[in-house]
Amino acid sequence: MAAQARALVAARWLADAVKNNRVGPNLRILDASWYLPKMKRNPRAEFEKTHIPGASFFDIDECCDKSSEFDHMLPTGGEFAHYVGNLGIGNNTHVVVYDASDFGSFSAPRVWWMFRVFGHTSVSVLDGGLKNWLTGGHPVTEQYSKPACAEFRESFNKSWVKTYEDILNNIKTKEFQVVDARANGRFRGVEPEPRENTEPGHIPGSINMPFPSFLDSTSGLERPVEELKKLFQQAGVDTQKPFWVTCGSGVTACHIALAAHLCGHPGVSLYDGAWAEWFTRAAPEHVISEGKGKQP
């Protein structure tokens, strides 16, 4: 099993690795770009035109539980191992994940979290993503050669994944803090959700920390640790106590998990069904909203 890797790597470090031909069985780069449908971007098509040299495309809508009615729910350990093994990733591979979002990072932390939940700690997010990579004048290419397959053995950490029932029970016990990464308007219930038949709002007692707040709005780089700690403090999240994260469909919640990890709290759990599942299944009184809410 590869050693624990630092959660963020700088563009300059990765550019040096690319230049010195270190991309291979011991270092793999993944473009994990994914966008909400309303953004009308095709991440795979964009990857085929422009990506970091040596990168492969990781599709979170492909590496998922296809039997679920909800988007990109976690796959089984076996499905994950098969998928990443086909991308040339073994247990000794250092994986660097990025995406091409205008934020600097959008979906990459989700894939970082997926590797960790399946027992692979040698995984990093490229700080600032493709946005910062291009700002630094580093090379991109349209050329792609499929890596040779590798064997990946997973070790699933079930305690990091929370279910609808877990969240429902927590409303009564208030044992865990629940932190939501969606935009404040969606959280409050006054801006629309991107999914059909889903009204905005939030889980009772949850705390809002919109994911862009963790990033520098100009460069897309992650904010320094002291600033991240202050953000948690200002939001009223006690990082000394356990907390769970959520969002619209389990993608941007992983920004909170990453920020917590950088602040020295690596074991944050994710409600994978997130708001998409909660709104579908919850009783009207469990959809807190300043807007329409959920009608009985």
The domain that holds 255 is classified in CATH as: 3.40.250.10
In whole angstroms, what is the distance from residue 208 CA to residue 229 CA? 15
DSSP letter (8 states) at residue 51: B
The domain boundary, picked from 108, 137, 156, lies at: 156
Which of these is catalytic: 63, 64, 247, 254?
247
| Alpha-helical runs (H) found in 147-296 | 164-173, 184-188, 225-235, 253-262, 274-281
| Angstrom distance (rounded) from CA 293 to CA 275 | 13
Q: Which two tokens stand for residue 1?
A: 């099993």
**For 29-59, how does the pLDDT look when each residue is reduced to its tens digit (9 = 90+)?**
999 999 988 888 999 999 999 999 999 999 9
Residue 10's pLDDT is what? 97
The answer for residues whose C-beta is within 8 angstroms of residue 101's C-beta and 6 or more apart is 33, 35, 107, 129, 130, 131, 220
82: in domain: yes
Q: How many residues does the chain have?
A: 296
* 263 annotated active-site: no
Claim to verify: residue 126 and residue 170 sit in the same structural domain: no
SS3 28: strand
Sequence-separated (6 or more) residues with CB below 8 Å from residue 213 = 231
Question: What 3-state DSSP class applies to 296?
Answer: coil
205 inside domain: yes
* Domain coverage including residue 245: 159-286
Q: Would 114 be classed as within a structural domain?
A: yes
Summarize pLDDT for 139-192 with one digit per residue, the tens.
Answer: 999 999 999 999 999 999 999 999 999 999 999 999 999 999 999 999 999 999
Cβ neighbours of 111 (radius 10 Å): 26
Residue 78 in domain = yes
Say whether 4 sits in a helix, a strand or coil. coil
Q: Is 179 left (phi over 0), alpha (psi -120 to 50) or beta?
A: beta
- Where a domain ends, among 138, 156, 174? 156
pTM, two decimals, is 0.96
In this structure, the dihedral spanned by the alpha carbons of residues 35, 37, 41 and 46, taken in order and rounded to 10 degrees, is 60
Could you report the per-residue pLDDT of 80-128, keeping only the tens digit for each? Answer: 999 999 999 999 999 999 999 999 999 999 999 999 999 999 999 999 9
Domains in the chain: how many in total? 2
> How far apart are the C-alpha atoms of 295 and 98, rounded to whole Å?
40
Structure tokens at 139: 């090379």
Beta-strand (E) ranges in 54-199?
55-57, 94-98, 123-126, 161-162, 177-180
